[in-house]
Chains A and B, each alone.
Chain A
Amino acid sequence: MSTVSADRLAQIFVEVADTLIDEFDVIEFLQMLAHRAAGLVDAASVGLLLADHRGQLQFMAASDENTKLLELLQLQNHEGPCLDAFRIMAPVVNVDLRGAGGRWPHFAPRATAFGFRSVHAFPLRLRSDVIGAMNVFGSEVGGLDDADVRIVQALADVAAIGLLQARAISRSEVLTEQLQGALNSRVVIEQAKGVVAQANGITVDAAFALIRTYARHNNRRLGEVAAQVLADLSSLPDLAKR
């Protein structure tokens, strides 16, 4: 089903591998990855989860961030394709959600209710380690052929290496430092959603849209704007009150 050209594919892989830049931001990187993966296989939604020190999968980024998708991703602390892919360290693909009620009694009905028909999950692997998983949702049944699966898994693997900047570092401690830092910066974004939602009397989804639009228009990082929201909301009049 992947219809992108070889040129475009190469471009995407280079983009995903290019993390050795000065102002590297993990959340922005994962958002970019979610968007590229969604475009690559024409998916309805793509979400990314990273494991914390308890081995619990935590939501990090999505191609379209909203409460429903967040719920589906967070459910996978308990059950679901990402948890399966994470545990077996291999992709779980082309699962028909309507027939998956026995396999994932909580996840499958919720995903179906949100309009998804198929689901796929790919582990984010680094050598013998697995640091998280990528969730791909489709609005049709099936969808990924063998070549698609290999390409998406390769993209996930390159992203895992890029994310951890593993080639540039020798200390294994850096992996933990970066992962923990990324998990915490995700928490900061959620807290900022709450602040902006309350200050403007809007939903958290609408608050996220406001924060992201502001970040884009002002050419600033999402995590940086979120931190400023929490440090001094009044310094951001566009977000403090509409």
Chain B
Amino acid sequence: MTSGVDGEFVRGPPGVVDQLRRICGTAERALFASGVGMSVATADGTNGMTVASDPTSERLEELQFTLGEGPCVDAFTTRRPVLVAELDSDAMSRWPVYAPALRDAGVRAVFAFPLQVGAARLGVLDVFRAHPGPLSRIHLGQALTLADLAVATLLDGQERATAGADGLDGAMEYGAELFQAQGMVMIQLGVTLTEALARLRAYAYAEDRRLTEVAADVVARRLSFDRDQQ
């Protein structure tokens, strides 16, 4: 198994699950959270798996999917973070069943971050806090960076799951060419966008080349991913 993505991932390579749980733990400590959970989506957008820093958060994570409502569900659907600094009356009317359940569990603020790269949606990272108030700018940056690390972990699968923890900076690279190459490889291979992302990254690692260079070659049509090529 070269990459743990989409339906394949639901069975869960243990290395990836461990790494995701470690990210939840790191996030809990760094962000002064009472708990951090992660929901990993399958290709059709339904819930595939949850991991969390603690049993309570795992239960809250799963509950959103049982109820079909919550910040995590909204973050996934709208493809943007949902930041709720206080579970006030607005939150109660927005999520009439889930928000009271959060309160009962001692949660006073919740922050949901999509795990995504453009149209490739892999899941959501949820930060639960026992005290109300917004995330500071620094905490916000850390949460987004940890979300990027989770995306990289999901894309790279088991082999690189531990290596990914070493350098946050390398978690995601940016640039229009990289995203264009993702779309091109998706068509070349006839796979999902998520799989195309994983294949591009795996190729760069295997060839020991920078992802941005590989992407530039794909866009310039110096490199093509064929359906029968492994």
Known: A59-B176, A177-B80, A177-B82. A191 touches B182 (CB 8 A): yes
What is the bound-complex CA distance between A31 and B187, given in angstroms? 28
Task: Name the contact of A173 in the complex, choosing from B114, B134, B144, B181 (C-beta under 8 A).
Answer: B134
Chain A residues with Cβ below 8 Å from B154 are none
Check: A127 CB closer than 8 A to any chain B CB: no
CB within 8 Å for A197 and B119 given contacts A59-B176, A176-B140: no
Complex Cα–Cα for A184 and B172 (A):
13
Inter-chain contact B181/A194, CB cutoff 8 Å = yes
The distance in angstroms between the C-alpha atoms of A231 and B186, with both chains bound, is: 11
A173 touches B85 (CB 8 A): yes
Which of chain A's residues have a CB closer than 8 A to the CB of B174?
52, 56, 58, 77
Number of contact residues on A: which range applies?
Answer: 35 or more
Distance A226 CA – B79 CA, assembled complex (angstroms): 14
Contacts of A131 in B (CB 8 A): none
Partner of B134, one of A172, A180, A226: A172
Chain B: CB-nearest residue to A70: B176
Q: Would B85 and A171 count as touching, CB distance under 8 A?
A: yes
A191 near B85: Cβ-Cβ < 8 Å: no
List A contacts of B144 (CB < 8 A): 53, 180
Q: Are A198 and B184 in contact (CB under 8 A)?
A: yes
Question: Are B83 and A187 neighbours in the complex by a CB distance under 8 Å?
Answer: no
Give Cα A195 to B186, complex, Å.
Answer: 7
**Number of residues on chain B facing chain A (CB within 8 A):** 34
The interface residues of chain A lying within 8 Å CB-to-CB of B188 are 198
| Interface of A, helix, strand, loop or mixed by DSSP | helix
- Contact among B145, B184, B219 with A195 in the assembled complex (CB-CB below 8 Å): B184
Tell me if A230 and B183 are in contact (CB < 8 A): yes
- For the complex, what is the distance from the CA of A57 to the CA of B188, rounded to whole Å? 30
Answer whether residue B46 sits at the interface, using C-beta atoms and an 8 A cutoff.
no
From A52, A177, A196, contact of B83 by CB (8 A): A177
**Contact assessment for A181 and B180 in the assembled complex, using a CB-CB cutoff below 8 Å:** no
Q: Are A191 and B183 in contact (CB under 8 A)?
A: yes
A residues 15-73 touching B (CB-CB < 8 Å): 52-54, 56, 58-59, 70
Contacts of B145 in A (CB 8 A): 53-54
Closest to B117 in A: A187
Given contacts A53-B141, A188-B119, A204-B219, contact A195 B183 (CB under 8 A): yes
20 additional contacts (CB under 8 A) given A177-B80, A181-B80, A230-B118: A53-B145, A58-B174, A70-B176, A74-B176, A77-B174, A171-B83, A176-B81, A176-B83, A178-B80, A180-B81, A181-B78, A184-B118, A187-B179, A188-B119, A194-B180, A194-B182, A194-B186, A195-B187, A197-B180, A204-B180
Chain B residues proximal to chain A, CB less than 8 Å? 78-85, 114, 116-120, 134, 140-141, 144-145, 174-176, 179-188, 193, 219
A/B interface sample: 18 pairs, CB < 8 A: A59-B176, A77-B174, A171-B83, A180-B81, A180-B144, A181-B80, A181-B81, A184-B116, A187-B179, A188-B119, A190-B183, A191-B118, A191-B183, A194-B179, A194-B182, A194-B184, A198-B186, A230-B119
